[in-house]
Amino acid sequence: MIITKKRDFKELMENIKNCKSFFLIGCSECASLCGTGGEPEVKAMKETLEAEGKIVTGGIVAKTGCQVLGTKTELKKNREELDKAECILVMSCGAGTQAAVEIFEDKPVYPTNDSLFLGNMTRFQMFDERCSLCGKCILDKTGGICPITACPKGLLNGPCGGCKDGHCEISPDIKCAWVRIYERMKRLDRLQELCEVTLEAKDWSASQKPRTLVTREEKKK
């Protein structure tokens, strides 16, 4: 899921200082699990803004905030509240915020969160990053552990000289990705493969931005 973090409230207030009335859009997917845009957070935001003297005309928790058409349809029932609001506050990720930008051509849209990474939830509201969406997966070569993400240098062929007692040069809190890969390949009895295969430099054109993808079959006209 997309991991988000609430922006510093002072910073948010600074960004919206010229607006009086707001409509809030949360998201029931990632932002709910992150505790940044679910039902309780939208409610709390309404109260906080009102305490700051702002007007909140209404709000919803969209089912999937990054889905443009679905969210637009869901918002139909809030027509009046939306009309009364000077601007939109989106309490999901950057994608959700930009879905709102597409829906509301004439209203300013502000994000209440910072979007951080594609993450795994390890415990309740604890997340870590395991995939950087590089566009050409190499997990099959690295025992299922992604060095592009787990190694701060994204090294593809083994550890750097900075590995200290199995930990990463940049922090003793991070286990060296290549020690993890080594250990896993050993457990899987695939060390020979690890020794023999030298991975080529990645073709970064696979992550050329902005990326688009169409998987549906185009209807014949």
Partner 1 sequence: MSFRNILNSGKFVVTAEVGPPKGTDVKEMIHHMELLKGKVDAVNVTDNQSAVMRICSMAVCKIAIEHGLEPILQMTCRDRNRIGLQSDLLGASILGIKNVLCMTGDHVSAGDHKGAKPVYDVESVQLLKMVDGLNNGKDMSGSDLKGTTDFFQGAVVTPEANPIEPQLIKFEKKIRAGAKFFQTQAIYDIEKFKEFMKYARKFPVKILAGFVVLKSAGMANFLNNNVPGIRVPQALIDELKAAGKEKALDTGMDITARHIKQLKDEKICDGVHIMAIGMEDKVPTIMERAGLL
Give the interface with ligand SF4 as residue ranges (CB under 6 A). 131-134, 137-139, 146, 148-149, 151-153, 155, 159-160, 162-163, 168-169, 176-178
Amino acid at 8: D
Among 55, 138, 160, 174, binds partner 1 (CB under 8 A): 160
Cα→Cα distances 39→85, 134, 167, Å: 20, 33, 40
Q: Quote the least distance from Cβ 162 to partner 1, whole Å.
A: 5
Cα pseudo-dihedral 31, 35, 40, 42, rounded to 10: -50
Q: Which does 22 bind (CB under 5 to 8 A by kind): partner 1, ligand SF4, none?
A: none
Secondary structure of residue 95 in the 3-state scheme: helix
Q: Which does 138 bind (CB under 5 to 8 A by kind): ligand SF4, partner 1, none?
A: ligand SF4
Q: What's the token pair of residue 72?
A: 């637009």
CB nearer partner 1, residue 94 or residue 158? 158
How many residues can be counted in the chain?
221
Q: Quote the least distance from Cβ 153 to ligand SF4, whole Å.
A: 4
Residue 166 touches partner 1, criterion: CB under 8 A: yes
Q: Which stretch binds partner 1 (CB under 8 A): 34-42, 71-79, 115-123, 190-198?
A: 190-198
Q: Which does 206 bind (CB under 5 to 8 A by kind): ligand SF4, partner 1, none?
A: none
Q: Could you tell me which residues are beta bridge partners of residue 58? A: 23
Rounded CA-CA distance 24/164 in Å is 48
Residue 146 touches partner 1, criterion: CB under 8 A: no
Rounded CA-CA distance 105/107 in Å is 6
Q: Is 118 in contact with 129 (CB distance < 8 Å)?
A: yes
Which residues are near partner 1 by CB under 8 A?
152-166, 169-170, 176, 178-179, 181-182, 191, 194-195, 198, 200-201, 204
